[in-house]
Amino acid sequence: MALPVFPALVLVVAGVWSLVVWPQFLRRVMKDPRARDAAGKATRFLTVHVVLVSISMVLGLATAVIGVLGLLG
């Protein structure tokens, strides 16, 4: 894959950023009192955020991989 070095590095950094930041966010969401109801069951608040984090991490991984492939040529 032909990609100049600077854009490839931007993709790698953006991908790594997503992989580092989103799990931290999910930990905070899981500690939030809105994450579980009185019976301890997951609420829609938690479900929505788990889906958001999951999709963002998959996209972050894909972004990083594209950046690495761009660096490798």
Report the alpha-carbon distance of residue 65 to residue 16 in Å, rounded: 10
> Which two three-digit tokens encode residue 37?
């109801």
Task: Kindly report the length of the chain.
Answer: 73
Q: pLDDT at position 3, please?
A: 93
Report the alpha-carbon distance of residue 40 to residue 35 in Å, rounded: 9
Going from the C-alpha of 6 to that of each of 11, 16, 17, 62, 73, the distances in angstroms are 9, 15, 16, 17, 13
Q: pLDDT at position 17, please?
A: 98
Q: pLDDT at position 1, please?
A: 74
Flag whether pLDDT at 2 surpasses 90. no
What are 7-58's pLDDT values in tens digits?
A: 999 999 999 999 999 999 999 999 999 999 999 999 999 999 999 999 999 9
Report the alpha-carbon distance of residue 1 to residue 31 in Å, rounded: 42
Q: What's the whole-number mean pLDDT along residues 57-64?
A: 99
Q: pLDDT at position 73, please?
A: 87
